[in-house]
A and B are shown apart, each in its own frame.
Chain A
């Protein structure tokens, strides 16, 4: 295929009209051309000789043996001509097949917006198809050199591209690299280059390959990513409704302490003869509780903010207990007992706190709803963290509800699958997206006795300390 593409590129480079001189693959067929030419010349000479012999026979009769030799030569040249004609016929057929292949390959390359190139590194020659030139959008007539091309590549990608090209040359392998190209007319474009290197006998390297414009593809990917983010964010904002009570509770606690401290201080000062040590202690406590309230608000803001994925070094145990704190009140009101079993040591992961909390909250809310549906007498929510083998941290969220129906279980994490009356069926698909963005997995199973368990596994981070 590469050979074909190369040929296609060469024919493309010649303006779509292949010629023998430009097509090394056809070069060896010239021998038959020369042979046929020689045979024709020989036959013509023989015919001329026979004609002169016939005209001059009354005056200069020649030896019948010499005439026989001429006839033999004539016959031989005729045979050679026939052979040559047959050969050229074969050649024409092969050429037409090749040309057809080349045409197809170049059509494919053009329609896929592929630019093909060959870079003769030691000689500094860069061959490229017109499609490639069009991608680069270099000014007309400007010489195509590696330096001219490199000058337009995004500064952050130059070093990477050079490294990729070098490793292709030295390793004689195929490498791929994506880089940004500043096209003078059309702004920033994303290109993907695929290069394969070969080494000459004299040690010089030759690179060839193709380049494609993946800007549109990138745009679509970015669009999909941003929509996913919007959806994640929206579901989080929706979750805030459910969390409202818990957050209000978290905020009221420090506010209560602040108010009571301040009013106590007011009374102490009004009474006169205040103990300054006590006064200082009260003020210190007010400041402390104020920052506690600020933390709650910061957390709330982080839940409301539409952030990109931010991986931080976290302890999974910590994330689980923090999340539980948010819903503790809600669980108590609904008379749901909590059984929490955290792994005895830290579970270091690289994760986005907000997203991980969202994922856990989603599972907890689902569990709570499942239990509320099945009985009015509450139930037990079990949260367990541990190591799930192969360097994975594992969280299990189990409930004592009615469990998940077998036919739903298989497609539980697909979008728009819901068992709730007013459910959109997005919660778990968002949960899966979050797990996957952490290089993790999420799955569910029904418990042996009653209820269901949802599992999350995400890779453990290697702790440097």
Chain B
């Protein structure tokens, strides 16, 4: 079989048992390929389980920089007897299948290259304790793949060094197994597949990180002072990252902290604590996923109505209900936008990359405090938990905006005359004071019940309506402050595409495919926030047909945009789909072309 070499343009799926330590091996492969300068992405498809269930990890190498999940895979590693039949069948024709040779199941394919690996034999030879043997056995496929595909050994060692934080013993024992396996493969396997990983000379301006770490770091550079959270997949690692980095970045020399992170008893309490802290003048946040957002509904309404700044990160997973807790979706948009009873409107930020998770991490606090309102940031499992190539984090380019706050000296100038809910500046945003302000006129009483401009209780019809109208006006002010969309046009295109969040890479690739294969040009608006800024209105007005691409069933962004711009709604065409997996470029172009060709 002499096939044309396929270099840096294929995907690898590794099938393992969860809890077996394969993540270290998989991320090591991903990082080594990244170090070789090859554009690469890794996606972990894992079960809601601690140990023993099938799990898959997919790595895509693409010399052109397309890093969305793709169809395939061309290369499959079968380490799990339970999913062996499925994994073997999943290999693309002409692909390669590596498997642990202690799995005694029939190889029914003749259209692919097959490589048995003596995983048990090699890992038994490794100089490690029996307890570590299972972990180290995953390094066998790393070594064999390295030999057959051409993955650089130095890069692998760098990846291990990073993973084990420089602990020599761990690096050496893992690398020893990789090296032994590579040598075994060199002596015993004959390469018959066409897939090669080759170093690329691209100057790497990228780093590799996950969105939850980026979000936590962004929050830290945004001056987060209080975070309360409750464990939930896929959001837990966001708060855990705060716990890792805050002590390093935000402790004084005497060891005293400028922050507090508290694991609450539930999501009701997590947001309640954030509201208390935000009310009292701290930059306060919580992080959760869809089920947590449901529980946070009542407090969100209170914070909206009593005008308390908080930041809520929703790392979305598949719902409703417990749903698919370890799979990704963009399906909390509608519920978050309309969260709470009565008339509410929330500011929502939609990061589309790991770097943007960092950026919105700090920006969200500026917006929340400026607008005195909850700001939701909707990430997702794919963005939050997977490792992505991303541009380095950029230090905030503007000073912190603490919003309209009156301290003692301000109140002295005003001779103590002020009103908590009075729109002094015409932007719908009033002034506020914090507990601890010793001016005798500083205090006011905050409530979720009807109040007048002085925060006094009233059931007055006019007071109620005037306040709600002001809040609506404030939301219009938000429209001028939230991040503008990212727009990318192709000259002469009539077609518009709107998407948000983690689908960016797949949409970019789909547009290129449609242009190349069908000559179909498209303009792309990646929405970065709600409410819609004027750029969004302009984009929609300029295009006759607009596909709205999103990872949910009900085309939620289309629903919202239709409500915001009812006169434009006829233009909107859904391209919505969710099966728990990140969207692929192929699916997107099919969804668009099938409607275009009608």
A-B interaction: no
